[in-house]
Structure 1
Amino acid sequence: MKTLRVTLVAAAATALLALAACAPTPVIAPVTKSANDLQGATVELVVGQVLNINTGDLAVDSYTAEVSDPAVAEFTQGREDGSATFNPGFTAKAEGTTEVTMTNEQGGIQPLEFTITVSK
């Protein structure tokens, strides 16, 4: 009787572990901000989340960025690929805070300076 209980408990534990392994990973929705709204702003993200930047009338590939702590956030250059357009943005890598300066190669445009704060 005791052996049967141990076997049933072991079988139940194995089934729960198998089901847990099949559980989907939650998807973290990106945060979209207009480039015009970023000056002096603080953007809060969670690890793995993406900041998508709408460049408006300016070319998506015209922005570059300097990140004071690249361990916290990573910049991705905007680009056009055939019929698809990809906005520039940042991926939250680790918990912390980093200052960001984005500049536009088209000149005459003030650099965008803002803060990204990443939590778990």
Structure 2
Amino acid sequence: MFNFFRAQPKQDEITPVEVQQRLAQGERLYLLDVREREEYAEAHIPDSVLIPLGQLSRKLSSIPKDATIIAICRSGNRSGVAADLLRRAGYSNVLNLRGGIIAWARAGLPLVM
């Protein structure tokens, strides 16, 4: 009834639950984690690919253009930068994981530790 009070994701963002739903439906998602190696080693989303933000522009050729790319970081800031970089590089289907790995963990979704 009062859902209009709840903060809604921006158009270029996706919530952790929405990502999990899309994965469960078999949608082809490329989970791009742009954190540093140490952060990724602590905890990451299963099947995510690590490309630290500082290396992203040099590794664009390894990122598929035919999948929906979900950019992931700790809280959503660095991944927002990564998503913008990808869009400027010609990737059209890019979403930022709202709240990052912190929101993913808070939602109780699976992590590799």
Q: Is TM-score (shorter-chain normalized) higher than 0.5?
A: no
Q: Which structure's relative contact order is higher, taking Cα pairs within 8 Å and 6+ residues apart? A: 2
Rg (Cα) greater in structure: 1
Greater fraction of residues in strand: 1
Query: What is the TM-score when the length of structure 2 is the normalising length?
Result: 0.30
Greater fraction of residues in helix: 2
Query: What is the TM-score when the length of structure 1 is the normalising length?
Result: 0.29
